[in-house]
Structure 1
Amino acid sequence: MKLPSCVLAAAAVPLASAQLDFWAKKAGLEFFGAATDTPGFREREPYAASYPKYDAIFADPKEFGQTTPTNGQKWMFVEPQPGVFNFTEGEFVSKLAKKTGKILRCHALVWHSQLAPWVEETTWTPEELKAVIKRHIFGVAGHWKGQCAHWDVVNEALDEDGTYRKSVFYNVLGEEYIKLAFQWAAEADPTAKLYYNDYGIERPASVKTAGALRIVKLLKDAGIRIDGVGMQAHLHADNHPTMEDHVKTMTAYAEHVEEVAFTELDVRIKTGTPLNDTKLAWQKESYQFVSEACIRVPQCVGITIWDFYDPFSWIPHVFPDNGLALPWSEDFSKKPAYDGMIDIFKKYADKPRPKPGKPTKPTKPEKPGKPRVKRFSA
């Protein structure tokens, strides 16, 4: 595909000094990060020649201060057989995070996709499935205990219409599986911040946003700890939320949880027609809206892009005629979105962020015979 003039010009210039995490922190965020994966597998397999340059960019602490394993901690990899754990792929990223001094976000304990086949192929009783979930959470979160700043405890529990997704977990246990997952995650890794994580929950009027708030309130009403909401933010260049949308949505979450984060950010471009400066400008705007919104909402701790290098993106493999979603192109030139985010971070550099209000505290379960006393946050 022929690149437009702005990208070709950038490709002719040597890579600039690393900046994203440096400037994000100057603007008051805790981190700017990039997810990464195990070399030699999946999208990465055809691009071995790119690894040295990719690894150097990823390792630079001024560029990325945080990372998430895109695949290595998912059920199909860590528990491929009942009670048989294999942490090889997840360990690659956790060790890399330690080696390069990055915050580690762990992903994900209970998710309907990328399950080991035995989980879905078995007919479970409720008690059997509870035991399986508990073993998995204690096995996986227990293995990385103390290493994960955040855990995506439950991932994508909502369907497109905002109702619960009809996963094996929901079909057997109903919404109770969500409560049990957070309860056991808190026991297995007490120091990690526990998140509900989903896509399509960035717009204030979305039915999925309402569903995410319902999950948060479900846990709080049961007296179960949930620390944050992760907005995956797999966005579209030609139809993305406004900065005000992001702020309004995060503010609603922040009434109930201590922190929010953009956890899997990418902004896909339609590639069925030629790439042009207009598409890149739309993409830049979307990345800027996320960056500025995160700064403006004090509970927003940081931004993670879902890898940073276009060839390693999942999008073209799942959504034909879509791609080019990340700040670095195949030749390692940076798209306008990169400098756009830097401009936003510089705009707010060394300025005090608003102080967060206190989220609503969990309400302890009501005891029989005693009326519940309503409590309000300060």
Structure 2
Amino acid sequence: MRPIRFATTALAAAALTAPLAASPAAAEGFGDGHWPPHHSNGKAERLRWAAPHDLHIGTAIAGGGHHTDQDYDPPFASDRTYRTTLARQFDSVSAENQMKWEYIHPERGEYDFEDADRIVDFAARHGQVVRGHTLLWHSQNPDWLEEGDFTDEELRSILKDHITTVVGRYKGRIQQWDVANEIFDGDGELRTEENIWLRRLGPGIIADAFRWTHQADPHAELYFNDYNVEGVNAKSDAYYELSQELLAENVPLHGFSAQGHLSLDYPFPGSMEENLQRFDDLGLGTAVTEVDIRMTLPESGEPTEEQLDTQADYYRRALQACLDVDSCESFTIWGFNDKYSWVPGTFEGQGSATVMTEDYTRKPAFFALHEALKEEKKWPGWPGRGHGGR
């Protein structure tokens, strides 16, 4: 296994004092010692170009959710710098909220594909793959669904129609679907109270959801997705056991993904590679899908140099865990700009969770990811890695 080099304090200082979206000249290969311009087209600056050919480096596209309560317009539609950065840095995108039930299926029998269509079309124009998020979940469901007076048969039909309609619309244009999202609690028990589908239709609906998704798009890769399953624990054990059961029943389950919503208030999950590897050993694909590293901010509201260095360490270790597992071919950060991050509105007193500040200045975490990708790409003879780029 190759040695891992983490961001240094000097690198952190350089990141904080650099021009917008700039990177250290030495680190990015600019021999004249000058910072690259804010919107340089240089491929050396891009995460997607630094990545080995068999790893998609992605981000969530901000929209919906907490953004509706903020004092700014939706960034994907209104912020040109956001779109430019999105296109140049990443070759994979996920809809943060725009494909969830409450946005894409606001009324029974009515679908709103406008925002999702824009994301899929944007990805096609910029050579990006798309992760679909999500089809069966306990949260962010519309009131008509959660409060409706449906028979079990009607509810089953509603779910099948939703999956068939949404997945079918994007057939051939979505690389991976998070079919079943967050179906276990922290103790590894199914969410039979919170999740309307499990509560009313029983655990067998999970397999049905995978089958219906596969029927709607036979070429899409179908995943479990959850948080706090980065390491080996009761929750990830539950997914491991369920995965074995579904595979034995020939259910079209193709992968397992750990979200990666981490915090500096807790140790890094040291068994992350081990956990991903055991799903790889089952023959499943693996992915890391929603990485952000939040921190409790000082009274000033600005992270300390030490916090930024530790955050960079966490980002790189999460990426390295993915890189060291052959089947992990998708690594996604959950947004890239602090202004549009979900964290401050969800965790009081916490923030600075992404790889860029609000003015697009790149943090040490960005450089840590970029360096790790470059090292993996150039490492000679490493199985499955080190050939080409995007």
TM-score, normalized by the shorter chain, greater than 0.5: yes
Corresponding letter in the other structure for 1:9: T
Partner of 1:369: none
Alignment counterpart, residue 222 of structure 1, candidates 249, 259, 275:
249
Check conservation: 1:233, 1:262, Cα contact below 8 A. Answer: yes
Counterpart-to-counterpart distance in 1, 2:264 and 2:382: 28
Q: Normalized against structure 2, the TM-score is what? A: 0.83
Alignment counterpart, residue 59 of structure 2, candidates 34, 46, 50:
34
Counterpart-to-counterpart distance in 2, 1:238 and 1:107: 28
Counterpart-to-counterpart distance in 2, 1:286 and 1:154: 27
Q: Normalized against structure 1, the TM-score is what? A: 0.86
1:219-238 CA-partner distances (Å, limit 9, x unpaired): 21221011111111101124
Partner of 2:189: 163
Alignment counterpart, residue 233 of structure 1, candidates 244, 248, 260:
260
Counterpart-to-counterpart distance in 2, 1:296 and 1:8: 30
Matches within 5 A, 1:204-223: 204=232, 206-223=233-250
Moved more, 126-135 or 320-329: 126-135
Counterpart-to-counterpart distance in 1, 2:80 and 2:115: 19
Report the CA distance between 1:162 and its aligned residue: 1.4
1:246-278 CA-partner distances (Å, limit 9, x unpaired): 210101111224311111111111125452111
Report the CA distance between 1:216 and its aligned residue: 1.3
Corresponding letter in the other structure for 1:136: H
Partner of 1:321: 349
Q: Does 1:8 align with 2:16?
A: yes
Counterpart-to-counterpart distance in 2, 1:140 and 1:284: 37
Aligned with 2:291: secondary structure? strand
Q: Choose between structure 1 and 2 for higher RCO, CA contacts under 8 A separated by at least 6 residues.
A: 2
Matches within 5 A, 1:1-378: 6-11=14-19, 14-15=37-38, 17=42, 18-25=45-52, 28-38=53-63, 42=68, 46=72, 51-60=79-88, 63-165=89-191, 166=193, 167-204=195-232, 206-242=233-269, 244-274=270-300, 275-351=303-379, 352-354=381-383
Aligned with 2:96: secondary structure? coil
Aligned with 2:368: secondary structure? helix
Moved more, 265-274 or 164-173: 265-274
Instruction: Note closer, same or farther for the CA distance 1:321–1:29 as it changes in structure 2 (3 Å cut).
Output: farther
Report the CA distance between 1:104 and its aligned residue: 1.0
Aligned with 1:46: secondary structure? coil
Identity of aligned residues (%): 30
1:320-366 CA-partner distances (Å, limit 9, x unpaired): 1111111010121111011111221222223344369xxxxxxxxxx
Corresponding letter in the other structure for 1:276: T
Counterpart-to-counterpart distance in 2, 1:226 and 1:353: 28
User: May I ask how many residue pairs the two structures share in their alignment?
Assistant: 347
Corresponding letter in the other structure for 1:327: V
Report the CA distance between 1:98 and its aligned residue: 1.1
Report the CA distance between 1:159 and its aligned residue: 1.2
Aligned with 1:35: secondary structure? strand
Counterpart-to-counterpart distance in 1, 2:144 and 2:248: 33
Check conservation: 2:54, 2:384, Cα contact below 8 A. Answer: no
Corresponding letter in the other structure for 1:190: P
Check conservation: 1:31, 1:302, Cα contact below 8 A. Answer: yes
Report the CA distance between 1:141 and its aligned residue: 0.6
Report the CA distance between 1:7 and its aligned residue: 4.7
Aligned with 1:340: secondary structure? helix
Counterpart-to-counterpart distance in 2, 1:229 and 1:180: 17
Counterpart-to-counterpart distance in 1, 2:283 and 2:259: 17
Report the CA distance between 1:10 and its aligned residue: 2.3
Structure 2 unmatched runs, 5+: 1-11, 23-36, 386-390
1:266-296 CA-partner distances (Å, limit 9, x unpaired): 1111125452111111100011101211111
Check conservation: 2:64, 2:96, Cα contact below 8 A. Answer: no
Instruction: Note closer, same or farther for the CA distance 1:126–1:47 as it changes in structure 2 (3 Å cut).
Output: closer
Report the CA distance between 1:214 and its aligned residue: 2.5
Structure 1 unmatched runs, 5+: 357-378
Instruction: Note closer, same or farther for the CA distance 1:107–1:45 as it changes in structure 2 (3 Å cut).
Output: farther
